[in-house]
């Protein structure tokens, strides 16, 4: 399960999945009747989990030896069970960017003096890879905003077309939070670019950054490069550009006046920026059991679970103990679901398959943002419009006997799913807590966005979640066996019934924005997987929401809003935060080769 919390231009958006479950929870008591087949056993589940969550696999992070070993194990299990491997001998390989470094040949010289890379200057992670030799203009904090009570326009009266802009990091009063929407480096760089700047130089005043260090490079998933160079420098370097005044003086004056301050820059800046993105190969493991009915075998059921986890943890990994470097075993999250997929494969193979074909997918990169499942849906080995049901198992190992409740999400994504679940559960003595929404914090969300009916099995969050303590001996394997039996019954019913399950929209297709700053939304699911290229693709357009009403179509690439360019999800969110409810804005999209302007009422 992915912790749906990511820092967006200094704003932490948190979406608690439980709210969705609790909102729509109701219980359907089931009674025990016949004993179910014993083909899936608690012992077999335990064996898979013990192996996948062992220290030897080092937390199964994509691209690590432990991650590779896990993929091989899953592929071998699929093959042994008699499944037919799909993809490239059972793998779907794709690159995952894991880090970024400044190119060693990056240079910067101010007033003809070379600065030292890393010590005196550093490109920002979203910098364009370009060279620029140009004059410099000072633009204070780089603000350009107008609110009901105040405004601050650093660019009024200065022409920054085609030159570098020198901007202070932070804001006058860093504690109050009033300036928060305008202080992120990306935001400031976007404002500078909107005014025609050809490059941006950031420097921290002593009140903001007493250590006077360039900004450290951190790669963020989903971050796109800007078309202009963006660097940060030390005060010593910045002061070479100024005619004698210090950064400390400028910061002091700005903080006192809370108003633009002008000063002339006398020297040129020359910089040449390169960045190197490190990437690893992520692998989904995919296999199929062909349908045993001639008429129905071209239709599909997909059973999926992610097998990746957080590796050794550390900052940015998603670990809740980011300061501890230790194997994050990920027994519940999600060796449990992976074991379930393996056992379901074995059981369905032994039964001679279902009438429809059943695709098995072990996804990677889930913890980094549903990378594997999104890759799967955009490179699907089977036609997604022929998929009757995608069943996702993520964290199914901590069933609580005392509560005797299984959470199932996505139950509203086809009209018959709730009834099918109740029927399937008739043999199994547990209570169903159903939640209709198709969106959720795991891989099924990627399929729901593609109009595939989904079910999401989940036994609840626990204290060890995303810590090094999520271990195999804490799992309830008897409980998991019963969850897998329930999943099997539903899958068999969906795979054998005469009619296909028809998709039904059930809730938003993207995360609801959890921050009050995002007052408005377009009602699209942005493509968060691509970090290159121009614009931002709408992976889904939610019916009845502003973008849909304005005529936006799934697959449209948003390239500008209100005439200002948009590149990647971070820039998109930044632009959105500037608009108000009820406002009419122009949104330019590329639909294939065609450029269209849509008027969206927010």
Which residues, listed in sequence order, are joined to residue 325 by a DSSP beta bridge? Answer: 313
Query: Min. distance of Cβ 125 from Zn ion in angstroms?
Result: 24
List Cα–Cα distances, 39 to 332, 348, 465, in angstroms.
22, 10, 29
Among residues 308 and 450, whose Cβ is nearest to Zn ion? 308
Q: Cβ(92)–Cβ(283) under 8 Å?
A: yes
Among residues 123 and 397, whose Cβ is nearest to Zn ion? 397
Query: Min. distance of Cβ 333 from Zn ion in angstroms?
Result: 4
Among residues 142 and 313, whose Cβ is nearest to Zn ion? 313
Joined together, the tokens standing for residue 65 give 């030896």
Residue found by looking up tokens 């209709």 in the block? 436
Query: Min. distance of Cβ 367 from Zn ion in angstroms?
Result: 5
Name residues contacting Zn ion, limited to 494-533 (CB under 5 A): none
Q: Cβ(285)–Cβ(75) under 8 Å?
A: yes
Among residues 77 and 329, whose Cβ is nearest to Zn ion? 329
Among residues 331 and 522, whose Cβ is nearest to Zn ion? 331
Q: How many residues bind Zn ion (CB under 5 A)?
A: 2
Which residues, listed in sequence order, are joined to residue 407 by a DSSP beta bridge? Answer: 433, 458
Query: Min. distance of Cβ 1 from Zn ion in angstroms?
Result: 4
1 binds Zn ion (CB under 5 A): yes
Query: Min. distance of Cβ 25 from Zn ion in angstroms?
Result: 22
For residue 381, which phi and psi values (nearest 5 degrees)? -70, -15
417 binds Zn ion (CB under 5 A): no
- Angstrom distance (rounded) from CA 7 to CA 416: 38
Q: Cβ(493)–Cβ(422) under 8 Å?
A: no
Among residues 354 and 454, whose Cβ is nearest to Zn ion? 454
Among residues 1 and 585, whose Cβ is nearest to Zn ion? 1
- Angstrom distance (rounded) from CA 194 to CA 576: 15
Read off the DSSP letter of residue 332: I
Among residues 64 and 567, whose Cβ is nearest to Zn ion? 64
Residue found by looking up tokens 């990511």 in the block? 6
**For helices 336-350 and 477-496, angle between their N-to-C axes, nearest 10 degrees:** 50
Which residues, listed in sequence order, are joined to residue 280 by a DSSP beta bridge? Answer: 96
Query: Min. distance of Cβ 72 from Zn ion in angstroms?
Result: 22
Q: Cβ(467)–Cβ(371) under 8 Å?
A: no
Angle formed at CA 17 by CA 13 and CA 21, multiple of 5 degrees: 150
Query: Min. distance of Cβ 332 from Zn ion in angstroms?
Result: 9
Among residues 59 and 568, whose Cβ is nearest to Zn ion? 59
Q: Cβ(203)–Cβ(233) under 8 Å?
A: yes
Burial class of residue 203 in the structure, from the number of CB atoms within 10 Å of its CB (0-12 exposed, 13-18 middle, 19+ buried): buried
Bridge pairing between strands 27-28 and 431-435: antiparallel
Q: Give the H or E element holding residue 346.
A: helix 336-350
b/e 67-94 (16+ beta carbons within 10 angstroms → b): bbbbbebbbebbeebebebbbeebbbeb
287 binds Zn ion (CB under 5 A): no
- Angstrom distance (rounded) from CA 206 to CA 247: 8
Query: Min. distance of Cβ 351 from Zn ion in angstroms?
Result: 31
List Cα–Cα distances, 579 to 369, 478, 562, in angstroms.
27, 52, 10
Which residues, listed in sequence order, are joined to residue 107 by a DSSP beta bridge? Answer: 272
Joined together, the tokens standing for residue 224 give 């796109």
Among residues 333 and 485, whose Cβ is nearest to Zn ion? 333
Name residues contacting Zn ion, limited to 311-340 (CB under 5 A): 333
Q: Would you say the C-alpha torsion 239, 243, 244, 247 has a positive or negative sign?
A: negative
Among residues 397 and 523, whose Cβ is nearest to Zn ion? 397
Contacts of 249 (CB under 8 A, 6+ apart): none
Contacts of 10 (CB under 8 A, 6+ apart): 180, 183, 184
Query: Min. distance of Cβ 442 from Zn ion in angstroms?
Result: 8
Point out which span in 1-9, 19-27, 151-159, 198-206 binds Zn ion (CB under 5 A). Answer: 1-9
Among residues 144 and 367, whose Cβ is nearest to Zn ion? 367
Among residues 136 and 528, whose Cβ is nearest to Zn ion? 528
Among residues 328 and 347, whose Cβ is nearest to Zn ion? 328
- Angstrom distance (rounded) from CA 51 to CA 32: 32
Bridge pairing between strands 557-561 and 584-591: antiparallel
Residue 306's closest CA among 424, 144, 440, 478?
440
Among residues 469 and 559, whose Cβ is nearest to Zn ion? 469
One character per residue 458-487, x = contact with Zn ion (rule: CB under 5 A): ------------------------------
Q: Cβ(231)–Cβ(202) under 8 Å?
A: yes
Query: Min. distance of Cβ 520 from Zn ion in angstroms?
Result: 30
Query: Min. distance of Cβ 475 from Zn ion in angstroms?
Result: 15
One character per residue 354-373, x = contact with Zn ion (rule: CB under 5 A): --------------------
Query: Min. distance of Cβ 466 from Zn ion in angstroms?
Result: 6
- Angstrom distance (rounded) from CA 313 to CA 302: 30
Residues that bind Zn ion (CB under 5 A): 1, 333
């Amino acid at each position: 399960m992915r912790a749906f919390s990511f820092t967006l231009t200094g704003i932490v958006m948190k979406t608690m999945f439980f709210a969705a479950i609790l909102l729509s929870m109701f219980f359907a008591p089931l009674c025990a009747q016949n004993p179910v087949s014993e083909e899936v056993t608690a012992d077999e589940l335990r064996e898979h989990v013990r192996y996948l969550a062992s220290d030897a696999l080092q937390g199964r992070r994509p691209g690590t030896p432990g991650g590779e070993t896990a993929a091989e194990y899953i592929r071998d299990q699929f093959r042994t069970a008699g499944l037919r491997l799909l993809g490239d001998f059972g793998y779907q390989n794709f690159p995952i960017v894991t880090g970024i470094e400044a190119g060693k040949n990056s240079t910067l010289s101010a007033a003809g003096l070379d600065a030292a890379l890393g010590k005196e200057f550093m490109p920002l992670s979203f910098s364009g890879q370009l060279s620029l030799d140009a004059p410099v203009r000072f633009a204070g904090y780089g603000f350009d905003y107008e609110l009901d009570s105040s405004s601050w326009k650093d660019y009024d009266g200065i022409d920054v077309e085609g030159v570098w802009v020198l901007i202070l990091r932070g804001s006058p009063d860093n504690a109050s939070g009033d300036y928060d929407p305008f202080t992120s480096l990306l935001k400031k760089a976007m404002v500078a670019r909107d005014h025609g700047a050809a490059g941006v130089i950031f420097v921290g005043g002593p009140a903001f950054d007493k250590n006077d260090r360039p900004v450290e490079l951190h790669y963020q998933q989903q971050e796109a490069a800007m078309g202009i160079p963006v660097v940060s420098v030390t005060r010593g370097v910045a002061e070479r550009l100024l005619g004698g005044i210090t950064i400390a003086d400028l910061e002091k004056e700005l903080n006192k006046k809370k108003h633009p301050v002008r000063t002339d820059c006398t020297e040129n800046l020359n910089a040449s920026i390169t960045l190197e993105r490190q990437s690893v190969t992520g692998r989904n493991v995919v296999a199929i059991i062909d349908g045993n009915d001639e008429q129905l075998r071209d239709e599909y059921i997909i059973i999926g679970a992610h097998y990746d986890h957080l590796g050794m943890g550390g900052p940015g990994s998603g670990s809740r103990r980011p300061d501890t470097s230790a194997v994050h075993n990920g027994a519940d999250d999600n060796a449990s679901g992976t074991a379930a997929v393996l056992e379901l494969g074995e059981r369905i193979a032994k039964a001679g398959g279902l009438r429809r074909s059943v695709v098995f997918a072990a996804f990677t990169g889930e913890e980094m943002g549903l990378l594997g499942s999104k890759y799967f849906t955009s490179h699907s080995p089977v036609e997604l419009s022929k998929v009757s049901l995608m069943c996702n198992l993520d964290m199914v190992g901590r069933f609580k006997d005392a509560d005797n409740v299984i959470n199932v999400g996505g139950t509203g994504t086809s009209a018959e799913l709730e009834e099918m679940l109740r029927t399937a559960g008739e043999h199994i003595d547990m209570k169903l807590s159903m939640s209709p929404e198709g969106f959720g914090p795991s891989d099924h969300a990627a399929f729901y966005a593609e109009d595939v009916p989904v079910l999401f099995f989940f036994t609840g969050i626990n204290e060890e979640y995303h810590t090094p303590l999520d271990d195999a001996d804490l799992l309830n394997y008897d409980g998991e066996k019963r969850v897998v039996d329930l999943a099997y019954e539903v899958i068999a019913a969906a795979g054998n019934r005469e009619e296909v399950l028809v998709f039904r929209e059930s809730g938003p297709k993207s995360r609801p924005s959890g921050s009050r700053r995002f007052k408005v939304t377009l009602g699209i699911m942005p493509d968060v997987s691509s970090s290159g290229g121009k614009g931002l693709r709408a992976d889904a357009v939610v019916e009845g929401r502003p973008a849909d009403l304005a005529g936006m179509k799934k697959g449209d690439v948003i390239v500008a809003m209100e005439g200002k360019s948009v590149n990647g999800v971070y820039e998109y969110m930044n632009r959105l935060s500037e608009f108000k409810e009820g406002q009419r804005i122009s949104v330019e999209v590329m639909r294939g080769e065609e450029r269209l302007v849509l008027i969206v009422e927010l």
